[in-house]
Chains A and B, each alone.
Chain A
Amino acid sequence: MSLMHADQSTSRRPAATAAVMGWLLVATLPGIATLTWHFGWGVLTNVACAAALGVGLEAAMLRLRRRPVAPTLADNSALVAGVLLGASLPPGSAWWLILIGMVAAVVVAKQLYGGLGHNPFNPAMVGYALLLVSFPVPMSLWAAPTGLVGPEALTLGEVLRQFAGLVPTETLDALSGATPLDAFKHKPAGVMAAEFWAGSPLPEGALSAWHQVALAWLAGGLLLLYKRIIGWQIPIAMLATLTLVAALFYGASPSHQGSPLFHLLGGAAVFGAFFIATDPVSAATSRRGKLLYGAGIGALVMLIRPLGAYPDAVAFAVLLMNFAVPLIDYYTEPRVYGHAAARRGIKAEAGEDGR
């Protein structure tokens, strides 16, 4: 066994789990900053509350499970789950919504399965999917891109009132605007795509705001790739498949379907590809497995968006592919040195072949 460790050498990839998670947090900064710039203080209250709840709930669960609290918290993974869920929720979500989401993510999806490294499902997406299914109204009230400092921007005080749950839903509804994917999905069937865009049903600047947010996530994702914290396989496979399937839909019916670019940049695809699908714990593990896993997510997203009931589908696609991970792992083992070919899957009777 090795007595030396990579922390003794200067490599690009961080050598400790805490540092891996730390870099992940750093990589979310451009995305969160851009979201905040366009959608106001509500993004920051989301992220701060979710992160604090993540750490608090993890600490409480570790104590209940009689595990060492401080060293485990120091791996920063709870913080990451909080930040990712916080960044996914509609800006200015009420505290109880965030709490329910984080309980589902940290307590149920992560700690009840045995903590970091043992969860078969992506914790942040379990929380998100639960909220999306259980609380469709607050989850669809996405704030209009009024900006952080613009004339229509909400002040921090107003956002805190929203956060405290003191603003009635009707008022919130008035303040919110649909996301581009949502609006496009719910356009009347008779309306052509060109008419839809000409009618400009979206709040002013919404589409470009979403594009900028997607590009900011992309910047963070490239940082993760450069630091070798994530492999290229999952994001590239996911985005490529998504583009391909979107192109097929678009090619079949350009008058009614969104363009591939719209699907790439209009929703959570980039964020999902670099920050959600790449969660190594719940993703497939071999390199070829990662390609399959990413492709599966991309395809599912693009099947659910036009055909399913939800305008965006990254959470469901990731969770569905999480189910498939053990199967993918068995069937994508690489060809091991000294073996003529890779074996596929597990035979019912392992037999006595091999050594």
Chain B
Amino acid sequence: MAERLDFPGGITPPTRKARSTQAPLREAPLPSRVVLPLAQHAGAPAEPCVEVGQRVRTGEPIARAVGLVSADVHASVTGRVAAIEERPLHDGGRGPCVVIEGEGEDDWWPLPPLDWRTADEASLLARLDGSGVVGLGGAAFPTQVKARIRELHEVDTLVVNAAECEPYISADDLTLRHHAAEVLEGARMMARLAGASRLLVGIEDDKPEARQALEAAIATSRDDEPPIELRVIATRYPSGGERQLIKRLLGREVPSGGLPADVGAHCHNPGTLRAALLAVRDGRPLVDRVVTLTGEALARPGNVVARLGTPIAELLATAGLDASRLHRLVMGGPMMGRALGELALPVIKATNCLIAATREELPDPPPEQPCIRCGACEEACPAILLPQQLYWFARGQEHDKAERFHLFDCIECGACDYVCPSHIPLVQYFRAEKDAIRARRREAARADHARHRFEFRQARLAREEAEKQARRAARKEAATRGGRRHAGEGQAAEPATDLRSLRIAQTAAKAAERKAEKALARAAESGEDDPAVIADLETQLATARENLKAAEARLQAARDAEENAP
């Protein structure tokens, strides 16, 4: 094989998973009060559809998706809406949240069960849309949007990303140990939606129990289509990165700036697949998720099924948090997760892991030292970048060079941070540099947007003019025809322009429209969260449509004239 079936670089940090995998998956106690942020998914925040004081049942929608990329939010307990207000969020900012005061009862708001094998695709998608299912691996991208992949791409392989390569996290591991069959059924359902004929499960070799559960589930569903292939890969971070896993399992490389679907692959996390299946099969919207509770400051680490919105402090208390030993609270893994400032924040859809670490466990990094360009980062980089050069450009604000050296292909996995002997927080520099470049692009985009609005106006005026002309010509035609009937021989109507060039213009306008549509769809699909970008693409699409209408009107007028000419 010419192409190496693996990604380069990577690191093997201590996995520290054993602490949270000893106990079986358990149900966390029902919280008495939940806080549900309206922006807990990638894309636009949802719009609340309940009022303060209203009684809501578990699973009842409390906020609806807005725009192309967004997701519904559902009540995770039964109770009364106590407040809809701005509250602190996990990224350090603030955002709108719905607060529900629970009654202690769990009264479900029912949705009719669906059979995914027989239901039509539109109703399956509508169910996913209405159930608020998002990617539970941490990115929280709306699953429904991802499931529409077929509209734009040919997908042949659905990959179940069970690598779970980041240290500490074991939520997928435990999900598979307990619910492997449901995960695989969910995978078959998503494979049907994506049109994939092949199903691959990628799992790292440090999870033998999950692997056995998968093997057993595959054996019992041997006759179902499509067949499932289990691939066990050596433990190496970041093999759970979508691009890295696809390279490792399929030997395909996702093009820069593209999507896995560009190479015919589609990745889902096991937890997401199970949530999607439950939403369809049992009519159960996403109101809870598996959360790994771990870290040395916890007496009883493990994995729990927690309702969304449960205060983190409450959840950690059930695991025996020793607050005096807590040095750092991390949501997600130690490589890509974020340190949380306070314990009062709620569990959200992206909360796959909570690490209550002691000072000895995740110590404060020593002071940053100068880069000696030793190249350790380069050897660790799974994207084959030159982090030492990017660091140099980022520090020097050399935006062009940073882009030229492919800064935007950095997946921010933190492998370079991990190996840097000078303890340089490289990913921090890269994020800041990306932000700086994006800000510069936004400036340019604003100027472009103004131009596009002007072009739209011009196109609209041209279209109106063309339609007016066409109407006038039609009237004139009708008049001459009428006159001809009476007066016999009339003067020959002159074809305004030659048909051929008008046809070409119309085809070109149609192509432009399709291109604009595609650009918009692609932006939506890749989770473009800047509304200005979407608005600009929408303007461009509207311009293309105006141009098309104008071209069609002109063509139609010319055809009419042709037909009526002798």
Residues of A whose CB lies within 8 Å of any CB of B are 1-6, 8-9, 13-17, 19-20, 71, 75, 77, 115-118, 229, 231, 280-281, 283, 285-287, 290, 329, 333-340, 343, 346, 350, 354-355
Contacts and interface: CB of A to CB of B under 8 A. Distances in A.
A116 B374 contact: no
Contacts of B14: 4, 8-9
11 contacts: A6-B13, A13-B419, A77-B372, A117-B372, A280-B373, A281-B372, A337-B243, A338-B253, A339-B409, A350-B404, A354-B403
Contact of B417 (A1, A280, A286): A1
Given A337-B382, A346-B401, A5 B365 contact: yes
B404 A4 contact: no
A2 B375 contact: no
B406 A336 contact: yes
**SS of A interface (majority):** loop
A3 B362 contact: yes
Which residue of A15, A71, A118, A285 has the most chain B CB atoms within 10 A of its CB atom? A285
A212 to B, nearest CB: 30
Interface residues of B, number: 65
Interface stretch (B328-336, B504-512, B548-556): B328-336
A292 to B, nearest CB: 15
B7 interface: yes
Contacts of A354: 256-257, 403-404, 406, 408
Nearest to A233: B375
Nearest to B256: A338
B375 A285 contact: yes
Given A3-B357, A4-B13, A285-B386, 11 more contacts: A1-B412, A3-B328, A5-B417, A19-B421, A20-B374, A231-B375, A280-B372, A333-B389, A338-B253, A350-B403, A355-B257
A340 B378 CA distance: 19
B12 A9 contact: yes
B372 A333 contact: no
Given A5-B418, A355-B256, A337 B247 contact: yes
Given A337-B383, A343-B404, A287 B378 contact: yes
A346 B398 CA distance: 13
A329 B378 CA distance: 13
Nearest to A14: B421
Nearest to A335: B384
B383 A115 contact: no
Contacts of B330: 3
Contacts of A339: 255-256, 406, 409
A346 B402 CA distance: 11
B370 interface: yes
Please provide the 8 A-B residue pairs with the shortest distance between their CB atoms, ordered closest to farther: A117-B370, A2-B414, A2-B417, A338-B256, A1-B427, A337-B383, A3-B334, A336-B406
Interface string B415-431: 10111111101111001
A337 B378 contact: no
B351 to A, nearest CB: 17
Nearest to B257: A355
Contacts of A6: 11, 13, 418-419, 421
Contacts of B12: 9
B327 to A, nearest CB: 11
Contacts of A287: 375, 378
B367 A338 contact: no
Given A4-B418, A337-B253, A17 B385 contact: no
B418 A2 contact: yes
Contacts of A117: 370-373, 422
Nearest to B386: A286
B341 to A, nearest CB: 15
Nearest to B429: A1
B169 to A, nearest CB: 13
B373 A285 contact: yes
